[in-house]
């Protein structure tokens, strides 16, 4: 914690002994009020007081804390669930996912029901305080350097489901934790201390939402040494794996599919006649009153709900009118058909995926420099060749990686590449939710079409296009229109920039095997070289041995008509990658 109100001693943040003495003294005083609520120290820090009194056998008289006890009783805590919200690539702060806690209540029933309803539970969230209209550059700088205050918040769980599951269409994975009632009570006591007295410096990389959630869980069960392994950065999916490493820590896993997935599943379940009605109502060619049965109407309700979440100003009046008519017609349906239980792919369950950090060794060959050994590393997270188990298929989020080459015949070491960020989202196009695929990236790479060898330049590119899934989770083809720019001193005019295209296919005929065929071509508008067209062809394959290792065969070919030297270039490599 970094807030000054969390410490009794002036040097309490850095001097544990001084803070211990000051805490013991404060707990016995009657003239001291602390925290944002102006409470007695025992009331502001109930878990600290409980722990010290128990461990040190303090004789301090207890103080009544009505505000704390009322708040604690209102939570009705019975059990605790760790929730993972899947990655949201459209938001830089959420492109690696997010974790929060669900505080499950005891004996809280849905209205007119004898069953518990999880939406009536509470969500415990950790996040950064920032303006809604924050400047993007300030956002990045402050986020990396700890310029924002972090805080804990508590809200009804249905609000968090509405935010992540519906508004942002992110899958939610819920992991029920094996904790006793007294352990949960200790955590709630500490949560009050954080909630009512302090903030922390928020860093996107390490001291982030997931790290704070792990710290909170360590209070519940000190035997779970969860934060020790995270020294440089903390990724939300890795925190799930950290808990899973303790046998028996997770007792149950539930899946809450995103609103988008629910919509697609509903529409795909319609027969041809029902689908024609569905399209007709949306196109305005058919009235909702003409739609029989509830199956199509239910799909239409989900469609307009999805549309409403995806429009910043809500539905236009014409669509609101249509939705009202659909709801009225739905209420008139007699003997409605029981909804079909949809089967959703569970392959994106995060605890099953490979670890985020990787190191690799390649034995390779370049036709211009001979045999080589390449060493590579990557801090995170997932690329298109990785096995998709534990991740959304056809997505790539790579950050902060690089590689070096050892040229065996020349006995030289050369930098190969440095990657800052590469994000790709290949969204299979469908009429239910037609969205483009897109990519963006920045890296330092060596040019392979110029006269020089191992000459470097900064490359920036981004683009959008369409993807089509030929066989579900087995075969996808995509086309991206690219805006490409690169700069380096070996380019005569320093810069080459212009449009390009990327045409590729991703094939996964076997569970652990992937094959990617791609062709990339670019046109230089600047005219730095006589040959304005340049590009490459790639054939890359991978086979996941297990969660920690995969083998890859990668190959790049640049034909002579794309090279300044009028000679072809090719590079081959056999990789072994380790994920940890």
Question: How does pLDDT run across 131-170, given as a tens digit for each residue?
Answer: 877 887 888 788 888 889 899 999 999 999 999 999 999 9
pLDDT band at 112 (very low <50, low <70, confident <90, very high): low
pLDDT value at position 92? 55
3-state DSSP assignment of residue 560: helix
| Dihedral sign for Cα atoms in the order 545, 250, 391, 124 | negative
**pLDDT tens digit sequence for 246-285:** 999 999 999 999 999 999 999 999 999 999 999 999 999 9
Q: Say if residue 305's pLDDT is above 70.
A: yes
- Overall average pLDDT of the 116-126 stretch: 90
The tens digit of pLDDT for each residue in 319-351 reads 999 999 999 999 999 888 877 778 888 889 999
Distance of alpha carbon 305 from alpha carbon 74, whole angstroms: 32
492-536: per-residue pLDDT in tens?
Answer: 999 999 999 999 999 999 999 999 999 999 999 999 888 899 999
Q: Answer whether 575's CB lies under 8 Å from 360's CB.
A: yes
pTM greater than the 0.85 cutoff: yes
Q: Are 194 and 101 in contact (CB under 8 A)?
A: no
Does residue 35 have a pLDDT over 90? Answer: no
CB 424 within 8 A of CB 384: yes
Q: Exposed, middle or buried: residue 202 (CB in 10 Å: 0-12, 13-18, 19+)?
A: buried
Give the contacts of 56 (CB within 8 A, at least 6 positions apart). 24
pLDDT in tens, 546-572: 999 999 999 999 999 999 989 999 999
Cβ-contact 155, 125 below 8 angstroms: yes
- pLDDT the model gives residue 241: 94
> How confident is the model at residue 2, as a pLDDT?
67
Give me the pLDDT at residue 335, please: 82
| Residue pair 197/36 in contact by the 8 Å Cβ criterion | yes
Q: Which tens digit of pLDDT belongs to each residue from 427-486?
A: 999 988 899 999 999 999 999 999 899 999 999 999 999 999 999 989 999 999 999 999
Report the 10 Å Cβ neighbour count for 215. 17
Give the model's pLDDT for residue 530. Answer: 85
């Amino acid at each position: 914690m970094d807030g000054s109100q969390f410490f009794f001693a002036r040097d309490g943040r850095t001097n544990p002994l001084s803070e211990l003495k000051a805490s013991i003294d404060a707990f016995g005083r009657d003239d001291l009020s602390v925290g944002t609520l102006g409470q007695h120290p025992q009331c502001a820090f109930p878990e600290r007081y409980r722990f010290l009194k128990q461990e040190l056998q303090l004789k301090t008289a207890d103080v009544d804390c009505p505000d704390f006890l009322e708040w604690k009783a209102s939570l009705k805590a019975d059990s605790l669930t760790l929730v993972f919200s899947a990655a949201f690539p459209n938001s830089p702060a959420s492109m690696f996912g997010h974790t929060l806690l669900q505080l499950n209540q005891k004996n809280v029933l849905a209205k007119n029901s004898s069953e518990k309803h999880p939406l009536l539970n509470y969500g415990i969230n950790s996040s950064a305080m920032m303006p809604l209209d924050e400047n993007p550059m300030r956002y990045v700088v402050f986020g990396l350097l700890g310029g924002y205050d972090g805080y804990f918040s508590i809200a009804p769980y249905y609000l968090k489901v509405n935010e992540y599951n519906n508004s942002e269409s992110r899958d939610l994975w819920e992991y029920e934790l094996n904790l006793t009632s007294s352990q949960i009570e200790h955590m709630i006591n500490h949560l009050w201390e954080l909630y009512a007295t302090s903030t922390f410096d928020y860093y996107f990389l390490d001291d982030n939402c997931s790290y704070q959630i792990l710290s909170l869980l360590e209070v519940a069960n000190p035997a779970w040494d969860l934060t020790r392994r995270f020294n440089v950065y903390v990724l939300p999916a890795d925190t799930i794996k950290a808990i899973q490493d303790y046998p028996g820590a997770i007792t149950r896993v539930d899946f809450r599919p995103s609103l988008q997935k629910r919509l697609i599943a509903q529409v795909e379940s319609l027969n041809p006649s029902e689908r024609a009605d569905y399209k007709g109502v949306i196109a305005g060619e058919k009235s909702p009153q003409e739609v029989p049965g509830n199956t199509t109407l239910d799909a239409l309700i989900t469609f307009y709900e999805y549309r409403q979440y995806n429009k910043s100003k809500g539905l236009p009046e014409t669509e609101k009118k249509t939705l009202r008519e659909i709801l009225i017609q739905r209420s008139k349906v007699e003997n409605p058909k029981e909804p079909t239980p949809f089967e959703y792919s569970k392959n994106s369950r995060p605890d099953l995926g490979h670890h985020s950090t990787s190191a690799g060794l390649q034995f390779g060959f370049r036709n211009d420099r001979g045999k080589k050994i390449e060493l590579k590393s990557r801090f995170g997270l997932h690329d298109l060749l990785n096995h998709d188990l534990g991740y959304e298929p056809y997505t790539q989020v790579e950050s902060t990686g690089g590689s070096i080459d050892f040229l065996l015949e020349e006995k030289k070491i050369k930098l190969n590449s440095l990657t800052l960020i590469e994000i790709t989202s290949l969204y299979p196009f469908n009429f239910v939710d037609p969205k483009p695929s897109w990519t963006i990236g920045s890296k330092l790479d060596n040019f392979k079409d110029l006269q020089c060898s191992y000459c470097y330049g900064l490359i920036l590119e981004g683009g959008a296009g369409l993807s089509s899934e030929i066989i579900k989770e087995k075969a996808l083809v995509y086309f991206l229109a690219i805006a490409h720019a690169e700069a380096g001193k070996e380019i005569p005019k320093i810069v080459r920039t212009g449009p390009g295209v990327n045409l590729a296919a991703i094939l996964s005929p076997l569970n652990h095997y992937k094959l990617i065929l791609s062709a990339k071509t670019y046109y230089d508008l600047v005219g730095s070289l006589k040959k304005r067209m340049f590009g490459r062809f790639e054939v890359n394959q991978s086979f996941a041995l297990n969660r920690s290792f995969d083998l890859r065969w990668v190959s790049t070919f640049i034909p002579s008509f794309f090279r300044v030297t009028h000679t072809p270039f090719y590079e081959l490599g056999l990789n072994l990658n380790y994920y940890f």
